[in-house]
């Protein structure tokens, strides 16, 4: 089994010394650098390049520079996706965003994690678990979402939160660790 196949299966894998994974990261980081250097007025090339970086993107996608990811092909964004400056997505596993997702500045989504055992960590081993963000979700600035987390539809994550566990639909959640503080009721 290749390191990439181990990663896709959710097993411990080595991303540090596997040439296939290294080459894929180098290629997408070159594309991210190119994207980050485009003028905001160059909407046509920004749109073309972000679609080249991402695995799947619907019609209205806006990601402000700087944007960085590990592979790109594991990222799927829905319709009317907006991310403010300094978005980081470590997409070793799938990261899926629904429609009408709004992300504040300096937010990070980490599918990669490392073993607690120091020997395994020192060998370069890691794991990756997917992240899912539902429809109509708003994440405030400086939010961090950790491996394996799902955020439900219509939810709001307060600025500065570290999301370590799933958040249900229609919730307002804040803090470190992020916890639901109230439900959003329909008017």
Active-site residues: which are they?
114
Show the tokens assigned to 154. 């219509």
Please state, in angstroms and rounded to a whole number, the distance separating the CA atoms of residues 97 and 79.
9
Cβ(28)–Cβ(46) below 8 Å: no
């Amino acid at each position: 089994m290749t390191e990439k196949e181990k990663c896709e299966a959710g097993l411990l894998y080595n991303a540090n010394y596997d040439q296939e994974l290294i080459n894929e990261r180098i290629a997408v980081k070159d594309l991210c650098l190119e994207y980050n250097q485009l003028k905001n007025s160059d909407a046509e090339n920004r749109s073309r390049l972000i679609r080249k970086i991402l695995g799947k993107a619907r019609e209205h996608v806006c990601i402000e520079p700087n944007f960085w990811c590990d592979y790109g092909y594991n990222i799927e964004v829905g319709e009317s996706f907006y991310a403010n400056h300094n978005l980081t997505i470590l997409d070793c596993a799938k990261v899926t965003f629904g429609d009408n997702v709004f992300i504040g500045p300096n937010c990070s989504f980490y599918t990669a994690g490392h073993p607690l055992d120091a020997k395994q960590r020192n060998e370069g081993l890691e794991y990756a678990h997917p992240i899912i963000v539902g429809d109509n979700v708003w994440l405030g600035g400086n939010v961090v979402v950790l491996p394996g987390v799902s955020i439900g539809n219509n939810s709001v994550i307060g600025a500065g939160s570290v999301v370590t566990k799933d958040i249900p639909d229609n919730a307002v959640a804040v803090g470190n660790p992020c916890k639901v503080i109230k439900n959003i009721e329909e008017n």
